[in-house]
Structure 1
Amino acid sequence: MYMMKSKKLKKMKMGIDAKLAIVFVLLIAIPLMTLGFMSYEKASDIMEQNFKQTTLQMTNEIKESINNMMYGYEESMIQMSHEANVQEVLMNPHYSKWMLKNFESYIKGHENVLSIYLGTKNSDIFLYPEAQVPEGYDPIQRGWYKEAVKENGLIWTDPYIDAFTGKQVITVAIPIYNTSNGNEFVGVVGADISLENLANRMNMIKVGKRGYPAILDRNLNTMTHKNKELIGKPLPIEELKEAIEQQDEGIVDYDWEENGQTYNKFGTFTKLDKLGWTVFSAMYENEIEEDVRALLWNALMIGSIALIIALFISFIFSRGLTKKIKILVEDMERIKEGDLTVLTKIKSKDELGQLGDSFNVMIDEIGNLVRNVQSVSTELIASAENLAATSEETSASAEEVAKTVEEIAKGATEQAADAERGATLTGNLSEKFIQLTNNTDNMLKSANEVMEANLDGVKAVEDLKDRTELNGEATGKIEEAIMELDNKTKYIGSILDTIASISEQTNLLALNASIEAARAGEYGRGFAVVADEIRKLAEESRHAADKIKGIVTTIQSDSTNTVEVMKEVKERYEEQSNAVGKVSESFDTIYKSIDSITGKIEAMGEFVHVLNGDKDNIVGAIENISAVSEETAAASEEVSASMQQQSMAVEEVASAADKLNGLAVKMNEEIKRFKI
């Protein structure tokens, strides 16, 4: 049976040699994969940056090449403006032939120049090679002429379609002055440079494998592009537009649709210094990915070879290691069958050799252990039998003790119940005493509060009495003042009567004066006016005195009424003073009654407190009896329970002794299986 289980385990488990090989492979594969992935990511970033920087450098080289080319045109045009036959062509028309000869030589020396010409201030045009001038053509109205005159120096125009050739050109122009005639303005000489050759040169340049350069004018219209449909149209890449408007050179990533597919691309750009053009180079990002992918394949091939070599080395190493382990496993299989006479034969000087020596020592120790166990198991069987007999005797004695303790517990429980009823009744009596004490305390508290309220009332009545006396004094003073006011108003009335009498006399005097003045004629006219004014003043004084007399009469009537009212107020004051005196006497009577009640309540409270103290002693004694009875009953029950537990424990010991005896017998039979 043990052999079958061993074979099943061997089939289910992987060998240690295979595990070691897997560990070796993983130890090499994981770092290689991590290093490869990190190298791939780093190389991808580095190569992308290198490609972009290289492309930007190429774009700058194209820019420098165009700058040099344009610089050559500028130098030659400046030199042309200094030619005498060009400056003096208006002064001497015969110079036009020599000037056209110079134009011819210029075109032969510059293959990209389509034509060179001079537009004079007289609207004449000298052109080489000769061509039919369109009807109504006026050089003065052309943009290149106006811009050169405005700038008063060399200028470059934006690309445009030439009126003579129909091709896309740019013009370089410079104003001409006759230095021999006081710098007289002659006109503007210009040269049309074809963009066709420049576009062909740009289209021949390759950026990477499929990338290309292009040129944009200052308005970001396409001048050259490998897709001729885009020439002359605005730049269709918004990201690039924004970048060019914000900086002079840079690198931009963008998406580009081509043949129905969208590609990830990047572009580098740089601006020409004078012309305002922008040189733009575009490249597909998947070109970088292709190069990086090739690097990744090389790393994978190297890693695969390293893994194969590691697998071969680990197989050889693990085979030598597992051979010794298999010997040890076979010896352990024999021990599993009970053969303790086995000694392993591993003699190497490494950890496996130490394991073999330790294995032999362990087998020897196990043999000694089995011998000792055999001796102990025999003694254990005899001891278990004795323990079982003793347990049976102890169990019988425990049962008798348990019955006696149970009877004691029953009596103690009944006594505790009686004590508890007495404690309950005493507790109720205690509650009644407590209520009586609380009510007495509340009555005493209420009486004290009434006493305090009575004292406050007495104080209030005393205060009212004082204020009533003050009120009486104030009322007397008011009565005196009103009497004085009545006398003074009567005096004022007599004075007003005097004023009225004086006013009437004054009025009569004024009237007499007016009559005398009228008799005097012209000499008395001024005196009559004065007499009339005096009469008017007398009338106004009389009317004012009448008004004041009416007011004084009203005041006299009011003061008379006030005097009567003050008499009534004085009577009410005397009645109020008598009432306050009676209230004060009532408060004194209440105070004496409350003081008597308070004394009696305090005496009753002291008596209740004495009864309450005696009650506490009675309750305490009954509670102590109840507590002792309960503790006795509880202790009896605990003893009874302990005896029951002891009886059960003795029974368990007896049962355990039987089991121990069986186990000892079984152990003895199992030990006999070992071969010592």
Structure 2
Amino acid sequence: MPDSMKGMRLENPIKSIGMKLFLIFLVSILFFVLTVGFTSYNISKGVIQKKVADASEQTIIQAGQKLDLLYGTYEDVTMQILLDEEMKRMLSDITTFDKSTFDYLQLRQKLGDKLNVYAYANKTIKSLQLFSLSGEIISSAGATGTKENPSKEDWFKRIVDNSGKATWLETKSKGYGDASTSSVPSFAIGRVLKNTTNNSQQNILVIEVNIDVISKELAQINMGEGGQTLVLAPDFKVVYSPDAATLGQKSTIDVDVASLQGENHSIMNIKKDLQLVYFQSAKSGWYLMGAMPVAELVRDARTISDMTWIMALVAALIAGGIGFLVARMVGRPVITLRNLMKEGEQGNLTVRMTVSSQDEIGQLGNSFNEMMQKITVLVQQTNISAQEVLDTATELSDASKKTATSAREIAVATEEIAGGASSLAVESERGNELTYNIGVQMKAVVDGNIVMGTAASDVQKSSEQGIQYMSELINKTNATEAMTRNMVEKVDNLKESTRSIRKILEVLSNVSKQTNILSLNATIEAARAGAAGKGFMVVADEIRKLADQSRQSIAIVGTITETIQREIDETVNVLSTAYPIFQEQISSVKEADSIFKQVQTHMGGFIGQLSEVTESISNLDASQIVLSDAMSNVSAVAEESSATSQEVASLSAEQMNISNGLVRLSDKLDQLSNSLKDSLSKFEV
């Protein structure tokens, strides 16, 4: 191998085929190993998380149902106190006593004893407190009652607003009693005690319960390492938590409240790092919630993730070894072949590749050797042919130069002849164009006269038709005027008839009034006659009714008659207004008829003048046609002469161009021959 070839190296190893094969093996194996491993890890993690969530969900639901039973006992206590007749009587009586009297203090003591009975019956109750609606403490049992008036407290207002329903109050770190004497967290249930007779609100009952009650119920629930069990109010304030510092505070668990309304009791928090299972109490509305870190749930599945990384590392090593072997087997022969082709590119056609295998790389080496052998033979043959072409080009160049000189002289003489013929053809063409333009304009004038004649005839026909239509319109307008006049007369007659009807209605109205008076007199006489006149009184009563009906009918007919009279008057007014308009319309129609007749007379004279003009233009057009034919003949002869001269000049010019082209081609062929000879001299054969 030559020294120059030994020194050649690949400039960028990343672009080599060996490195590409190495990267393909490495990336492919790592992709499949990591895909299978992490798919298994994700599936295992999901299965484990679901199983743990299902088991925890059942535990939380059962614990929540037990808490509901516990909450129910406290609601039952409030109902017992609400329905206790002795308690209601004492609460009703205490409002009638003066607070400074002994009876008030004695009754208050009895209320305290009664509350103590309920407190001792349920050992989990921390205190029982009775307040007035204004927040004043009336009586209490168990722990020390509140020190200040709680009427402005939010929890007190909530109890009052619920109007008799049980109100569950969230946990306070120091309870609902006197904060200076109590430091035990507690939650409470409150209810308004009503007077059953008038359903009015009397007092506020608050039962305070130690938070330890819930703690004992949830002590057996284990949410795993890092997990916690909470009781949360609907506004997510902490009712119960193993961490006492968070009681009464807003929970730090980020949950979409809308997700708690579904049938599924297992959800994820917003950050997706906690698995939550919950149960909402039907009694208190509080949420019993178990929170488990997802990382702890799927901790056992991390083994699959670790094994995936180990297998990926082993696969990377195996892929690296395979890729290195493939790069060595394929890359080296390809680099050798590339270096040999570089030598051939520089003109060394004697290079050959040593072939030691029969695979595709070996076949490629054999093909390269055969190609270089054939290129060597081709260069040798081309070198011989180039010398022969160079000799021929020299002889051709001399002959072409002599031919070009003769053609140049012939072309100069021919161009002078063609110039004179062209000038004559141009002048003839101009005369022909002027004659043609005159003919076109004459044609346009003739066509315009014909169109004007046609239009004038159409106008004359339209005038005759208009005169006929105007005659018919005058006749119809006269008939309309006669009908309108007749209609006015008939409406006047109808107006007189309505006046007669009104007179008749006046007579009937008077008859009705007289009949009514007669019936009244008959009734009076029948009353004087006593029992004997009862039959006549019935007849008189019927006559009076008939007179009233007649009077009403006459009034209705009178109203209708007045309406007809008013509409007749309006019709007369309209017809009176329309009659002068008809008179004006008749005058306008007659004037239009006179105008149409004048138009017809004028159009007849105009058509006669158009006919004379058209005949004169036709004679002028015939003379122009004869002139146009003569100019066309002169132009044709001039053009034919010019065309012949130009054809001769063109042939001479073409012959001169061919001669010049032969000279250029001879010179170019000479240059190419020398260039080919120089190029072939670079090859080593």
State which drifts further: 237-246 or 661-670.
237-246
Q: For residues 277 and 320 of structure 1, what CA distance do their matches in structure 2 show?
A: 74
2:314 maps to 305
2:386 maps to 377
Counterpart secondary structure, 1:281: strand
Q: For residues 264 and 476 of structure 2, what CA distance do their matches in structure 1 show?
A: 103
1:61 maps to 59
CA contact (8 A) 1:217 1:276 kept: yes
> Match for 1:25: what amino acid?
L
> Match for 1:324: what amino acid?
P
Q: For residues 636 and 72 of structure 1, what CA distance do their matches in structure 2 show?
A: 129
TM-score (norm 1): 0.55
Once the two structures are superposed, the pairs formed by residues 346-365 of structure 1 within 5 Å of their partners are: 346-365=355-374
Q: Of 651, 661, 665, which residue of structure 2 is paired with 1:656?
A: 665
Distance 1:265 1:25, change over 3 A: same
2:432 maps to 423
> Match for 1:32: what amino acid?
L
Counterpart secondary structure, 1:214: strand
> 1:460 deviation in Å?
7.9
> 1:295 deviation in Å?
5.8
> Match for 1:362: what amino acid?
M
> 1:638 deviation in Å?
6.4
Q: For residues 240 and 216 of structure 1, what CA distance do their matches in structure 2 show?
A: 14
Q: For residues 313 and 169 of structure 1, what CA distance do their matches in structure 2 show?
A: 72
Q: For residues 404 and 466 of structure 1, what CA distance do their matches in structure 2 show?
A: 94
CA contact (8 A) 1:59 1:279 kept: no
> Match for 1:28: what amino acid?
L
> 1:414 deviation in Å?
1.5
> 1:411 deviation in Å?
2.0
> Match for 1:448: what amino acid?
S
2:22 maps to 24
State which drifts further: 297-306 or 237-246.
237-246
Q: Of 266, 269, 289, which residue of structure 2 is paired with 1:253?
A: 269
CA distances 1:438-480 after superposition (whole Å, capped 9, x unpaired):
5643664475367547746875898799899x99xx9xx99xx
Q: For residues 339 and 132 of structure 1, what CA distance do their matches in structure 2 show?
A: 109
Alignment of 1:210 with 2:235, yes or no, is no
Alignment of 1:230 with 2:246, yes or no, is yes
Distance 1:15 1:653, change over 3 A: farther
CA distances 1:85-112 after superposition (whole Å, capped 9, x unpaired):
xxxxxxxxxxxxxxxxxxxxxxxxxxxx
Question: Identity across aligned pairs (percent)?
Answer: 20
Q: For residues 368 and 243 of structure 1, what CA distance do their matches in structure 2 show?
A: 86
> 1:420 deviation in Å?
2.5
1:386 maps to 395
> Match for 2:26: what amino acid?
I
Distance 1:322 1:353, change over 3 A: same
CA contact (8 A) 2:421 2:641 kept: yes
RMSD between superposed Cα atoms in Å: 5.7
Q: For residues 343 and 610 of structure 1, what CA distance do their matches in structure 2 show?
A: 99
Counterpart secondary structure, 1:254: coil
Residue-pair matches, total: 484
Once the two structures are superposed, the pairs formed by residues 128-527 of structure 1 within 5 Å of their partners are: 196=212, 199=215, 202=218, 207-216=223-232, 222-231=238-247, 239=255, 242-244=258-260, 247=263, 249-254=265-270, 265-271=274-280, 278-284=287-293, 298-329=307-338, 331-332=340-341, 335-336=344-345, 338-427=347-436, 429-430=438-439, 433-434=442-443, 436-438=445-447, 440-441=449-450, 444-445=453-454, 448=457, 451-452=460-461, 455=464
Once the two structures are superposed, the pairs formed by residues 30-179 of structure 1 within 5 Å of their partners are: 32-33=30-31, 36=34, 40=38, 43-44=41-42, 47=45, 50-51=48-49, 54-64=52-62
CA contact (8 A) 1:44 1:288 kept: no
Distance 1:266 1:334, change over 3 A: closer
Q: For residues 291 and 624 of structure 1, what CA distance do their matches in structure 2 show?
A: 113
State which drifts further: 42-51 or 245-254.
42-51
Q: For residues 653 and 380 of structure 1, what CA distance do their matches in structure 2 show?
A: 15
CA distances 1:473-497 after superposition (whole Å, capped 9, x unpaired):
x9xx99xx9xxxxxxxxxxxxxxxx
> 1:410 deviation in Å?
0.9
CA contact (8 A) 1:384 1:657 kept: yes
> 1:419 deviation in Å?
0.7
CA contact (8 A) 2:67 2:214 kept: no
CA contact (8 A) 1:267 1:281 kept: yes
Distance 1:293 1:622, change over 3 A: farther
> Match for 2:390: what amino acid?
I
Q: For residues 624 and 424 of structure 2, what CA distance do their matches in structure 1 show?
A: 23
Alignment of 1:14 with 2:16, yes or no, is no
> Match for 1:374: what amino acid?
N
CA contact (8 A) 2:65 2:281 kept: yes
Distance 1:33 1:331, change over 3 A: closer
CA distances 1:555-598 after superposition (whole Å, capped 9, x unpaired):
xxxxxxxxxxxxxxxxxxxxx9xx99xx99x989x96x976875
Once the two structures are superposed, the pairs formed by residues 601-620 of structure 1 within 5 Å of their partners are: 601-602=610-611, 605-606=614-615, 608-620=617-629
1:569 maps to none
Gaps of 5+ in 2: 74-112, 129-137, 143-165, 190-206, 490-586
